[in-house]
Amino acid sequence: MSRGSIEIPLRDTDEVIELDFDQLPEGDEVISILKQEHTQLHIWIALALEYYKQTKTEDFVKLLEAARIDGNLDYRDHEKDQMTCLDTLAAYYVQQARKEKNKDAKKELITQATLLYTMADKIIMYDQSLFLPAGGGQNGPGNNLPLQPQRGALAYYKKALRTNPGCPAEVRLGMGHCFVKLSKLEKARLAFGRALELNSKCVGALVGLAVLELNSKEPDSIKNGVQLLSRAYTIDPSNPMVLNHLANHFFFKKDYSKVQHLALHAFHNTEVEAMQAESCYQLARSFHVQEDYDQAFQYYYQATQFASSTFVLPFFGLGQMYVYRRDKENAAQCFEKVLKAYPNNYETMKILGSLYATSDDQEKRDIAKGHLKKVTEQYPDDVEAWIELAQILEQTDIQGALSAYGTATRILQEKVQADVPPEILNNLGALHFRLGNLGEAKKYFLASLERAKAEGEHDEHYYNAISVTTSYNLARLYEAMCEFHEAEKLYKNILREHPNYVDCYLRLGAMARDKGNFYEASDWFKEALQINQDHPDAWSLIGNLHLAKQEWGPGQKKFERILKQPSTQNDTYSMLALGNVWLQTLHQPTRDREKEKRHQDRALAIYKQVLRNDSKNLYAANGIGAVLAHKGFYREARDVFAQVREATADISDVWLNLAHIYVEQKQYISAVQMYENCLKKFYKHQNTEVLLYLARALFKCGKLQECKQTLLKARHVAPSDTVLMFNVALVLQRLATLVLKDEKSNLKAVLSAVKELELAHRYFSYLAKAGDKMRFDLVLASTEARQCSDLLSQAQYHVARARKQDEEEKEIRAKQDQERDFLRQQMHKEQEDKRTKQEEDQKKLLEQRAMYVEKTKGLLSFADGMKEERKEKKKGGGRRKKGGDFDEFVNDGSDEDLPVRRRKKRKGGSGSEEEGRKKRRRPNKGGDEGSDDEEGGSRPKKQRKPRAGGKKIQRVSSDNEGGHKKRIASDSESDGGRNRSGSEAGSPLRSGNSGSDSGSDRPVKRKRVQQQSDSEQSDNESKRSQSGSENESRPGSPAAASGSEAGSPAGSPAGSPRRSDNGSEPGGSANEASNHGSDSD
């Protein structure tokens, strides 16, 4: 099939020369024809491109070079063709330069291309096709796309394909790459296949298909992929892309020599940095796996220099090399770049978490914690991640660390089916030790020792080291459990096997120091220095021994020696200790103000230096606050201490300093509370220093007794402390002075004060001679001793005054005791008399009740006999006599032998009516049984109301007068009735009137007494007697004062209605006195 032809017009004729593309002549011949016919430039360009398509590049170059000079430009728009000629030739030179290995030749080709682009630019300066070669294509309009997102590029590829369906295979290749980026792998496969159909030697298409096959990870697909790469390698053995993919294939086949050969060949056959980065990466990881870490580091680093921002695999390898070189900072930077490209990459987060876990920066430790938590969430069975997380949490969250270790041990035992390593058991024991769970800690330490002993068969040296560490931890545990003998034995056992274990010497020295054996402790610390002369901990401990003995100069030298060493020149502990030494000198009695100011400035400078090195050092901040307080800036010092206590409440010095500030600001109550809280929170036993501070605050607020007790507690702990002795003497003196000056002090207090004053005098006299002049002023002790002596000289006067006052108080007290005894005896006698009278009254009441019961029984038996006689008379049919059979029963209100007259109102409650009429009874108030057996429905009578004023009408019978007289009972008489025993007041008997009635010779009419059972009568009497007893025992109660129904006064009319305790009225008639029945007998 013919590929077409081109016509060359002949000069000055209408004829043309047709050249068939399939039979193109030599280039020189065509150039001769074109020159001879003075052919237009665009025909030269068309012929040159045809030669290029037929891979006749030499003729292509000859034609374009000749066209630049001999091409006919005499036609419209020849400038564009002229520019196209130059650009096409320049592009060819650029392409050749990429393939050229000789640097000089490559440079020459680039120079020629640049020159041609410059010439084209001068012809048409703003043509779009110039922008891309000149480097400005990315700034051009939308139809010029050097690098666009895949969708846009794919759209333009499709547009080009529609415009020119016969375009070369590279268009399909580009479409295939776009499909791969868009994850449309099947369409990409079709595009690569179509490109191979168009050009069987399209290496890019072969590589694209090979990658798709390899990524499927199936054995057959991998085989096909390798075959495609081999085919591409046969076509173009120098193609860097093919070489890199083959190197990657042989890496997984562990043929590292081929990997290095192919990658190195690819690196030298390309100038594209992305390709070179891939080649370097293949070289680096082949050396990495062969443990040639220096070569691996070199190629990893070179790969990172060439790699694009999306190719981060070289950074991952380079980070590993930095980890091997212990350069954690650079390693972390490499892994951070990887994590930025792949935010949730499991391996990267795990490695970063491990790197940041040991960082001194808290923020990085927090980042590590976050990474490891994500790892454990993504892969909950990752034991290493759990262990790393636990190690991070050990610093801040002990419970969280225990939980993480627990998860790791559970995974090991349940899923991995492995024993827990001794390292984890040791760490668990250490965490429990920090929490104070000493029993649990001991269990884990012993288990770790057993596990290490069992594993020692596999790696004796490693597990022996673990056993040594665990044994040391167990010894520390025994120290905490106060089993010092066991701890000492373990430390010495470790030193026998490992005599260079410095920490054991230090712990033995610390144990001796805590026992008070400073010289033995110093020997142990010096043993540690024999092993390491510059060991900072040993020097610090020796310096602290000097400070504990208040040897400030030698202690200062030890800490200065530490700071002179280059490795410890910024040692925070030593700097703080020096600052404390300068601060401590401010407490010594001195009058050199300049020296004091100089020491303050030195201490302040040291504390500031510590803060510059460590901005979060709380001890340095506390020291600055102390210096400010010494300078008199109490408010500022208080602010500093408050901020430190907000940061942590576990430093006792901050609490004490705040309390000191309160004392200086005269807030003594707050200071006392702060000192007491500090004692409770930080000190299990009595601390003499804090007790002394507390006593000082109590002394200043005037609580001398509490101050004395506090100082005595401190004296029990440190009886030989001269400062405590001075303060005790001072308080005793102040207390004695107050007691002696108080004229109200008793003899016992004065004698005790004199005794304490004598003791204070002895203390001051002793301290004036043998006191420590570095801790207090000896002259002051002498002055206080003289003052005590002066007070003792006046003591006899105070003792005499107190003794006299005591004797007078004793006399007054004795007199008061006598009067009190007399009153007590008199009250006892009155109570006995009252009790005797009550017993007699009770006895009389019982006798009267018995008599009443007997008389009531007689009346009841007589009434029964009369009933029987009445029944017999009824049987006889005779009428009842006037007056009835019971005329002899009369009440006090009836008139003897006088005709009975009908009355409208009944005074005194007389119950008689006219002759011939039936007798009527007043019905009982509560409906009780009070009517005769024969007469059932008598008309009720009105009850007489008591008169106002409490006065009552009483009928009095007299033997001298024929009639009855009425008299008004006075209040005194009524009250007299109340004052009698309750039994008499409430009894129905009236013994005062019974005698006069029985002595009467006149015949009297008597009315029948209502029957009442013995049991009811006795019950009512008992209740009345109880009520009366209550009235007597409580004469002021409302019941007795108002004359209640349960116990009416003896002076009240006998016929007044009285309610019994059970709510019913007495059984007799309203005008009948109950005692007449007994008198008639």
What pLDDT sits at residue 589? 64
The tokens of 234 are what?
A: 């046969």
Sequence-distant (≥ 6) Cβ neighbours of residue 858 within 8 angstroms: 1081
Q: How confident is the model at residue 3 (pLDDT cuts 50, 70, 90)?
A: low
Evaluate the CA torsion angle 293, 297, 300, 303 in order and state its sign.
negative
Q: How confident is the model at residue 810 (pLDDT cuts 50, 70, 90)?
A: confident
H-assigned helices in 182-292: 185-198, 203-215, 219-235, 240-252, 256-268, 273-289
- Beta strands, E only, 851-928: none
Cα separation, 197 vs 205, in Å, equals 10
What pLDDT sits at residue 876? 52
What's the rounded mean pLDDT across residues 811-819? 90
Residues in the chain: 1081
Tens-digit pLDDT profile for residues 270-310: 878 899 999 999 999 999 999 999 999 999 999 999 988 88
- Under a CB-based contact definition with an 8 Å cutoff, are residues 994 and 1078 in contact? yes
- Under a CB-based contact definition with an 8 Å cutoff, are residues 40 and 75 in contact? yes
What's the rounded mean pLDDT across residues 600-616? 92
Residue 318 has pLDDT above 90, yes or no: yes
Tens-digit pLDDT profile for residues 7-66: 888 877 778 887 878 778 888 888 888 888 888 888 888 888 888 888 888 888 888 888
What pLDDT sits at residue 399? 92
What's the rounded mean pLDDT across residues 244-271? 90
- Under a CB-based contact definition with an 8 Å cutoff, are residues 473 and 429 in contact? yes
Look at 70-84, 221-235, 401-415, 910-924 and tell me which has the smallest mean pLDDT.
910-924
What pLDDT sits at residue 874? 63
Q: How confident is the model at residue 1011 (pLDDT cuts 50, 70, 90)?
A: very low
What's the rounded mean pLDDT across residues 671-693? 90
Cα separation, 104 vs 820, in Å, equals 137
Residue 924 has pLDDT above 60, yes or no: no
What pLDDT sits at residue 590? 63
Cα separation, 462 vs 466, in Å, equals 7
Residue 70 has pLDDT above 50, yes or no: yes
Q: For 294-324, give one letter per residue: b (16+ CB within 10 A) or e.
A: eebbbbbbbbbebbeeebbbbbbbbbbbbbe
The 3-state DSSP composition of the chain as helix, strand, coil percent (nearest 5) reads 70, 0, 30
Sequence-distant (≥ 6) Cβ neighbours of residue 235 within 8 angstroms: 201, 203, 206
Tens-digit pLDDT profile for residues 723-756: 899 999 999 988 888 888 888 888 888 888 888 8
Long-range contacts of the stretch 672-675 (C-beta < 8 A, 24+): 672/697, 672/698, 672/701
Q: Closest Cα partner for 232 from 256, 208, 267? A: 208
Q: Closest Cα partner for 144 from 134, 156, 159? A: 156
Residue 826 has pLDDT above 70, yes or no: yes
More confident residue, 421 or 962: 421
- β pairing state of 964-969 and 5-9: unpaired
Q: CB neighbours (10 Å) of residue 130?
A: 22
Cα separation, 84 vs 100, in Å, equals 24
Residue 497 has pLDDT above 80, yes or no: yes
More confident residue, 946 or 313: 313
The tokens of 243 are what?
A: 């070489």
- Under a CB-based contact definition with an 8 Å cutoff, are residues 733 and 760 in contact? yes
Measured CA distances, 471 to 448, 493, 526, 531 (Å)? 9, 9, 23, 21
- Under a CB-based contact definition with an 8 Å cutoff, are residues 559 and 577 in contact? yes
Which residue in the block uniquely carries the two structure tokens 């002759």? 915
Q: How confident is the model at residue 594 (pLDDT cuts 50, 70, 90)?
A: confident
What's the rounded mean pLDDT across residues 946-968? 40
Tens-digit pLDDT profile for residues 86-119: 888 888 888 888 777 777 888 888 888 888 888 8
Measured CA distances, 767 to 448, 724, 756, 785 (Å)? 58, 11, 16, 9
Q: What is the DSSP secondary structure assignment for residue 923, as one 8-state letter? A: P
What pLDDT sits at residue 74? 80
Cα separation, 903 vs 817, in Å, equals 73
What are the phi and psi torsion angles at 127 (to 5°)? -75, 140
What pLDDT sits at residue 183? 86
What pLDDT sits at residue 131? 45
Q: What is the DSSP secondary structure assignment for residue 449, as one 8-state letter? A: H
What mean pLDDT, rounded, does the chain reach?
Answer: 78
% of residues, the chain, pLDDT over 90 = 37
Domains and CATH numbers, the chain: 150-215 (1.25.40.10), 237-319 (1.25.40.10), 369-418 (no CATH), 439-495 (no CATH), 500-564 (1.25.40.10), 565-795 (1.25.40.10)
H-assigned helices in 683-794: 688-700, 704-717, 722-741, 747-770, 778-793
SS3 of 514-549: the string is HCCCHHHHHHHHHHHHHHCCCCHHHHHHHHHHHHHC
Q: How confident is the model at residue 911 (pLDDT cuts 50, 70, 90)?
A: very low
Tens-digit pLDDT profile for residues 322-342: 999 999 999 999 999 999 999
Radius of gyration of the chain, Cα coordinates, nearest whole angstrom: 64
Top-confidence range, 115-119, 590-594, 653-657: 653-657
- Under a CB-based contact definition with an 8 Å cutoff, are residues 448 and 469 in contact? no
Q: How confident is the model at residue 520 (pLDDT cuts 50, 70, 90)?
A: very high
What pLDDT sits at residue 747? 83
What's the rounded mean pLDDT across residues 809-831? 91
Which residue in the block uniquely carries the two structure tokens 């030494």? 581
Sequence-distant (≥ 6) Cβ neighbours of residue 69 within 8 angstroms: none
Cα separation, 617 vs 919, in Å, equals 119
Residue 657 has pLDDT above 70, yes or no: yes
Tens-digit pLDDT profile for residues 837-867: 999 999 999 999 999 999 998 888 888 878 7
Q: CB neighbours (10 Å) of residue 787?
A: 16
- Under a CB-based contact definition with an 8 Å cutoff, are residues 1047 and 1039 in contact? yes
What pLDDT sits at residue 526? 94
Look at 386-395, 704-713, 1060-1069 and tell me which has the smallest mean pLDDT.
1060-1069
% of residues, the chain, pLDDT over 70 = 78
Residue 782 has pLDDT above 90, yes or no: no
Q: Is 170 helix (H, G, I), strand (E, B) or coil?
A: helix
Which residue in the block uniquely carries the two structure tokens 């002595």? 999
What pLDDT sits at residue 1002? 40
Look at 158-167, 872-881, 930-939 and tell me which has the smallest mean pLDDT.
930-939
The single-letter code of the amino acid at 931 is: S
